């Protein structure tokens, strides 16, 4: 797949869930991605338990990737409370971990990202009412949206791509049990995205979700979980989108 002039081929995949005891390698996958795209976006849940050993294993496999790599962390990467060490290992492997003030630019395309959080979608979105625990939950969702906004505000590029773990829309989590929709993403992320001229959004997290949807503004959103991508195309378990 060749890129049009001035277009950037973005490969995206999430939910690698690298386990410290697994003998599987992702090197062949990263080699294939390097031949298919100009930049790789990793959409969270890069490790299974958020352990430094798992991040080291991923960093070793990423040596096979010959294109720039940007990433956000997912909920699994926070499991062991060692997310800062996981970030450090990835950064040492030349991965750009997208955060409020950490963005990336390549050939006129800017990348901003955040982990995101849950809270539900549209009219069913959770509000900060009632117990303190509910208010804390909603505050976390709001804070993640604000972190994304800071990153987007810092970009001055012709085109913009957003990388998340949690979904910003309900359409790309369809296929999961409706009971867990509130834990798969939040429309607060989409509200932030639609304040900007974003060309594409990539996320993971919803293993049984739907590949493609749009925000209210019409921005395309892609669910790039490896588990979903493998079902769509086992020969190419990652998305490639020209921006």
Q: Which two tokens stand for residue 203?
A: 């996320």
pLDDT for position 200: 98
Q: How many whole angstroms separate alpha carbon 151 and alpha carbon 37?
A: 24
Q: Render pLDDT for 28-62 as a digit per residue (tens, 0 to 9).
A: 999 999 999 999 999 999 999 999 999 999 999 99
Confidence of residue 22 (pLDDT cuts 50, 70, 90): confident
Q: Render pLDDT for 110-143 as a digit per residue (tens, 0 to 9).
A: 999 999 999 999 999 999 999 999 999 999 999 9
Q: How many whole angstroms separate alpha carbon 144 and alpha carbon 191?
A: 12
Confidence of residue 73 (pLDDT cuts 50, 70, 90): very high
Q: Does residue 27 surpass a pLDDT of 80?
A: yes
| Domain extent listing, the chain | 9-242
3-class secondary structure, 29: helix
pLDDT for position 100: 87
Q: Are 112 and 145 in contact (CB under 8 A)?
A: no
Q: Render pLDDT for 174-229 as a digit per residue (tens, 0 to 9).
A: 999 999 999 999 999 999 999 999 999 999 999 999 999 999 999 999 999 999 99
| CATH number of this structure's domain 9-242, picked from the four choices 3.60.21.10, 3.40.50.300, 3.40.440.10, 3.40.50.2020 | 3.60.21.10
Confidence of residue 145 (pLDDT cuts 50, 70, 90): very high
6-10, 116-120, 163-167: range with lowest mean pLDDT: 6-10
pLDDT for position 2: 42
pLDDT for position 130: 96
Q: How many whole angstroms separate alpha carbon 145 and alpha carbon 52?
A: 27
Q: Does residue 3 surpass a pLDDT of 50?
A: no
Q: Are 184 and 118 in contact (CB under 8 A)?
A: yes
Q: Render pLDDT for 84-111 as a digit per residue (tens, 0 to 9).
A: 999 999 999 999 999 988 999 999 999 9
Biggest alpha carbon distance in the chain?
54
- In the chain, what percentage of residues exceed pLDDT 70? 98
Q: How many whole angstroms separate alpha carbon 38 and alpha carbon 59?
A: 19
């Amino acid at each position: 797949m060749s890129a049009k002039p001035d277009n950037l081929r973005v490969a995206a995949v999430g939910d690698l869930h690298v386990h410290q005891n697994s003998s599987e390698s992702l090197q062949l996958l990263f080699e294939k991605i390097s031949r298919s795209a100009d930049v790789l976006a990793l959409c969270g849940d890069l490790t299974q338990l958020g352990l430094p050993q798992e991040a080291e294993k991923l960093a070793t496999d990423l040596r096979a990737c010959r294109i720039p790599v940007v990433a956000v962390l997912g909920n699994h990467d926070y499991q062991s409370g060692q997310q800062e060490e996981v970030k450090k290992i990835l950064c040492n492997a030349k991965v750009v971990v997208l955060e409020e003030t950490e963005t990336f630019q390549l050939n006129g395309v800017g990348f901003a990202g955040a982990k995101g959080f849950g809270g539900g979608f549209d009219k069913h979105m959770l509000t900060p009412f009632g117990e303190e625990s509910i208010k804390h939950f909603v505050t976390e969702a709001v804070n993640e949206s604000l972190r994304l906004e800071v990153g987007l505000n810092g970009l001055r590029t012709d085109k913009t791509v957003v990388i998340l773990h949690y979904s910003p829309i309900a359409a790309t989590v369809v296929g999961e049990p409706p009971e867990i929709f509130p834990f798969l993403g939040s429309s607060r992320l989409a509200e932030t995205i639609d304040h900007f001229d974003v060309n594409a959004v990539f996320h993971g997290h919803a293993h049984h979700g739907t590949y493609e949807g749009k925000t209210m503004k019409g921005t395309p959103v892609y669910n790039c979980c490896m588990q979903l991508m493998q079902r769509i195309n086992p020969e190419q378990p990652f998305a490639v989108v020209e921006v």
